[in-house]
Amino acid sequence: MKIAVIIVAAGRGTRAGGNLPKQWQMLAGKTVLAHTIDAFAGYRRLLVVHPDDRARAAALVDDIQIVDGGGTRDQSVRNALEALDGSDVNAVLIHDGARPFVSSDLIDRVVAALNDSAGAAPAISVTDALWTGVQGQVSGTQDRTGLYRAQTPQGFHFPAILHAHRGHPGGAADDVEVARAAGLQVAIVAGDEHNMKLTFPADFARGEAILKGRSMDIRLGNGYDVHAFTEGDHVWLCGVKVPHGRALLGHSDADVGMHALTDAIYGALADGDIGQHFPPSDPQWKGAQSHIFLRHAVQRATERGFVISNCDVTLVCERPKIGPHSSAMRQALAQIMGIEAGRISVKATTSERLGFTGREEGIAALATATLVKL
């Protein structure tokens, strides 16, 4: 299933107070909208914003499609849906930009429900007593049986919800209303009390408490790379030029250690590998220095709110000897990655004369990276 996420953040609401719309206000060190975007890392994302906010939105993250919002929420959603028309997307998740606490488990529940239903949305059963009131006085009670508090993301098969929006007159409270008006069945999945929509000033204090109470997100990634020897008089290893009777063969500078470390970071992010971000078929990367790749991986981690806790690189070769250069390699990697050298390990081992490394036909590298989001 090819899924795109539409994050709706074009509103100008002022009930939350402050000088900016709530989605642009700060929460635990970054904007509300940045938290929301991070929650959908790994998905194709479209961000719907007020035209005046395009520059601010472009500065949030570099791999998100920005769409101008409309005068109403449903028009904003339709603008994003129309932007996807003709793509290979066959399902969409539509989410409020002011719901920054959505969990991966809730997202997965909505996606799973789309296997059996044209639409799916999270909700929480109403458990409190419900009253009606007139002029500040209780005038009656309301049966709460079968009542739910709606949340987002609301998921739909893409062609069906696009058709539904095109045929709707406007004024819908949410996309479930649009879907039902078109005759679509929408499954209810379990919501989450923490998946609140920030609306009033007091909600921000509660949101800070939610973020502080969450466990750390710890990611571990592994990388492996191999390069064969060719003619030359030096090799690049972990950012250091090491004299040697052979060179390493590769489309770039063939820094096998830095390549493995780059893939370890991508792996921790579930963000593909070097080949996906920098295809060897693209001539612009011919002979490229590998620090370009590593810096890109670190930037991707930073954009998603992660810090690199530590990394460990093991070079497997008979020669050159790595020990005399390991300190310089750690310093080089530290400068490229913007972290302390004390969080970087570079070591070497031989393969006891076994295999291609033992026959000195090339060098292999293994790397591990730990990423932490507080």
- One domain, residues 123 and 54: yes
- One domain, residues 222 and 256: yes
Q: Report in angstroms the alpha-carbon separations of 15 from 81, 109, 311.
A: 28, 31, 45
Look at the chain and report how many structural domains it folds into: 2
Rounded to 10°, the helix 326-337/291-303 angle is: 50
- One domain, residues 152 and 47: yes
Confidence of residue 215 (pLDDT cuts 50, 70, 90): low
Alpha-helical runs (H) found in 93-155? 104-113
Please check the confidence at residue 286 and state whether its pLDDT lies above 90: no
- One domain, residues 183 and 251: no
CATH of the domain at 359: 3.30.1330.50
Residue type (1 letter), 22: K
pLDDT, tens digit, 9 for 90 and up, residues 348-371: 999 999 999 999 999 999 999 999
CATH of the domain at 153: 3.90.550.10
- One domain, residues 256 and 304: yes
What's phi and psi for 166, nearest 5 deg?
-65, -30
- One domain, residues 156 and 223: no
Residue where one domain finishes, among candidates 168, 183, 213:
213
- One domain, residues 327 and 190: no
In angstroms, rounded to a whole number, what is the distance separating the alpha carbons of residues 259 and 367? 9
When pLDDT is averaged across residues 264-283 and rounded to a whole number, the result is 93
- The whole domain housing 34 covers 3-213
Alpha-helical runs (H) found in the chain? 32-39, 54-58, 73-84, 104-113, 158-166, 175-181, 201-213, 256-268, 274-277, 291-303, 326-337, 355-358
Would you state the pLDDT for residue 15?
Answer: 64
Tell me which of 4-18, 108-122, 186-200 is least confident.
4-18
In angstroms, rounded to a whole number, what is the distance separating the alpha carbons of residues 159 and 194? 31
For residues 27 and 35, the answer to whether their CB atoms sit within 8 Å is: yes
Q: Which of 223, 217, 247, 255 is nearest to 333 (CA)?
A: 255
When pLDDT is averaged across residues 273-282 and rounded to a whole number, the result is 90
When pLDDT is averaged across residues 300-310 and rounded to a whole number, the result is 91
| Residues paired with 373 in a beta bridge | 217
pLDDT, tens digit, 9 for 90 and up, residues 148-186: 999 999 999 999 999 999 999 999 999 999 999 999 999
- The DSSP code for 285 is G
When pLDDT is averaged across residues 86-93 and rounded to a whole number, the result is 96
- One domain, residues 207 and 337: no
- One domain, residues 177 and 46: yes
- One domain, residues 112 and 233: no
- One domain, residues 155 and 229: no
When pLDDT is averaged across residues 205-224 and rounded to a whole number, the result is 82
When pLDDT is averaged across residues 65-89 and rounded to a whole number, the result is 96
Q: Which of 146, 145, 141, 119 is nearest to 131 (CA)?
A: 141
Residue where one domain finishes, among candidates 213, 244, 265:
213
When pLDDT is averaged across residues 232-256 and rounded to a whole number, the result is 94
Would you state the pLDDT for residue 13?
Answer: 65
Would you state the pLDDT for residue 363?
Answer: 97
Q: Which of 90, 102, 189 is nearest to 148 (CA)?
A: 189
- One domain, residues 143 and 265: no
Please check the confidence at residue 205 and state whether its pLDDT lies above 90: no
Confidence of residue 214 (pLDDT cuts 50, 70, 90): low
Residue where one domain finishes, among candidates 213, 245, 275:
213
Structural tokens at position 324: 């005399």
